[in-house]
């Protein structure tokens, strides 16, 4: 079967397109971030796929809303026995109640949360959230410095925030980059992919052939990194 890939942006939504020897076009919306993937017949071109996606936008947005609702419902209580991802590794959470300031640390294969007794689940989630932010703050500067030199650009400002449907974003006018806090749960290769991806938008706004060519030139395995990023669990904490 002949297969070709494309990468489109439609009304602000990133679309993975796979052209195959099939009869009908199929659109899917996948967890955890609501990634949109289109399987399209090889007889169609990008413009035809774009039109098909536009026609199905109300359905796509409904599916994304459902995924976000399911994500909220899956929130755990931050108790011993849950597992959480740190840089692509699933670690069992151990909660230790003791006086003093709350903090987290990795101890072997465990992620240990030290908190005062009677700390609410919401506060525990906030502590974990802050810890993830700290992980990214320690890692992103080195990656940005590396790619500023490689691509001969300057990143004047970057911010970590929680995003519902994107791993990162770029304001081409101000050159401000944003990174999703959930990236701290992914393998470091995934974070580097997003750093390069967003910096590349300095040169090319859209996910067109030029953008793809630039990604191929500077980060040849970006597709594998993207698939790894989108393929693992995100916010769904699991029980061991």
Closest CA to 74 of 240, 239, 237: 237
SS3 155: coil
**Rounded Cα gap, residues 230 and 167, in angstroms:** 10
Q: Residue 227: its pLDDT value, please?
A: 84
> Could you tell me where the DSSP H helices lie in the chain?
46-55, 57-73, 121-151, 188-200, 209-218, 222-231
Closest CA to 178 of 164, 167, 187, 186: 167
Return the CATH superfamily for domain 82-239.
Metalloproteases ("zincins"), catalytic domain (3.30.2010.10)
Give yes or no for a contact between 64 and 56, defined as CB atoms under 8 angstroms apart.
no
**Rounded Cα gap, residues 169 and 159, in angstroms:** 10
| One pLDDT digit (tens) per residue for the chain, 240 residues | 556 678 888 888 888 898 989 999 999 998 777 889 999 999 999 999 999 999 999 999 999 888 877 665 466 689 999 989 999 999 999 999 999 999 999 999 999 999 999 999 999 999 999 999 999 999 999 999 999 999 999 999 999 999 887 899 999 999 999 999 999 999 999 999 999 999 999 999 888 889 999 999 999 999 999 888 877 554 433 333
Q: Where are the domains of the chain?
A: 4-73, 82-239
Full-model pTM: 0.79
Q: Residue 107: its pLDDT value, please?
A: 95
Could you tell me how many residues make up the chain? Answer: 240
Q: 152 vs 169, 173, 215, CA distance in Å?
A: 20, 17, 15
172-181's contacts with Cβ under 8 Å and 24+ in sequence apart are: 172/201, 172/202, 172/205, 175/202, 179/136, 179/140, 181/129, 181/132, 181/133, 181/136
**Rounded Cα gap, residues 39 and 5, in angstroms:** 9
């Amino acid at each position: 079967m002949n297969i070709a890939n494309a990468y489109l942006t439609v009304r602000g939504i990133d679309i993975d397109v796979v052209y195959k020897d099939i009869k009908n076009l199929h659109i899917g919306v996948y967890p955890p971030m609501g990634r949109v993937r289109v399987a399209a017949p090889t007889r169609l071109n990008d413009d035809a796929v774009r039109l098909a996606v536009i026609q199905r936008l109300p359905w796509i947005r409904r599916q994304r809303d459902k995924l976000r609702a399911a994500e909220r419902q899956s929130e755990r209580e931050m108790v011993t026995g849950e597992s959480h991802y740190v840089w692509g590794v699933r670690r069992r959470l151990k909660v230790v109640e003791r006086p003093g300031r709350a903090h987290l640390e990795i101890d072997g294969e465990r992620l240990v949360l030290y908190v005062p007794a009677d700390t609410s689940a919401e506060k525990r989630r906030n502590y974990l959230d802050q810890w993830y932010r700290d992980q990214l703050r320690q890692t992103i500067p080195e990656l940005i410095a590396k790619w500023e030199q490689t691509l001969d650009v300057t990143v004047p400002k970057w911010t970590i925030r929680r995003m519902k449907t994107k791993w990162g974003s770029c304001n081409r006018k101000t050159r401000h980059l944003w990174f999703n806090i959930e990236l701290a749960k992914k393998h470091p290769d995934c974070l580097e992919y997003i750093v390069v991806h967003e910096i590349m938008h300095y040169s090319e706004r859209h996910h067109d052939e030029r953008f793809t060519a630039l990604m191929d030139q500077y980060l040849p395995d970006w597709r594998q990194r993207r698939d790894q990023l989108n393929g693992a669990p995100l916010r769904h904490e699991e029980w061991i």
